[in-house]
Structure 1
Amino acid sequence: MTVNPNQDTTQAPAGDFTPQQIEALFMNAARDGEADLLTSFLEAGMSPDLRAEKGYTPLILASYNGHVEAVATLLKHGANPDLQDDKGATALAGVAFKGFLPIAHVLLEAGAGVDVANGVGRTPLMFAVMFGRDDMARFLLKAGANPTRRDGEGLSALDLAQRQGNTVLAAAMQDMAAS
Structure 2
Amino acid sequence: MSFYSSEPSDLLFDAARRGDVTYIKEILGQQTVEVDVQNGRGFTPLILATYEEHLEAAKLFIAAGADVNKQDFAGNTALMGVSFKGYADIARLLIEQGADLNIQNGSGGTALMFATMFGRNQLVKILTEAGADLTIRDSRGLTALDMAIGQGNEEAIPYLQN
* Same fold per superposition (TM over 0.5): yes
> SS of the residue aligned with 1:168?
coil
Alpha-carbon displacement from aligned partner over 1:88-110 (angstroms, at most 9, x marks no partner): 00000000000000100111111
Report the 3-state secondary structure (helix = DSSP H, G, I; strand = E; otherwise coil) of the residue aligned with 1:167.
coil
> For 2:29, which of 36, 40, 43 is the aligned residue?
43
| CA–CA separation in structure 1 for the residues paired with 2:49 and 2:4 | 23
- Aligned pair count reads 159
2:156 counterpart residue number: 169
Q: 2:136 aligns with which of 124, 149, 164?
A: 149
Residues 1-179 of structure 1 mapped to structure 2, 5 A cutoff = 21-45=7-31, 46-174=33-161, 177=162
Larger RCO, structures 1/2 (Cα 8 Å, 6+ apart): 2
TM, length-normalised to structure 1 = 0.84
Where structure 2 has 5 or more consecutive residues not aligned to the other structure, the ranges are: none
Identity %: 42
Q: In structure 1, list runs of 5 or more residues that go unmatched.
A: 1-16
- Secondary structure of 1:55 counterpart: coil
CA positional deviation for 1:20: 6.1
CA contact (8 A) 2:5 2:11 kept: no
Deviates more, 1:147-156 or 1:64-73: 147-156
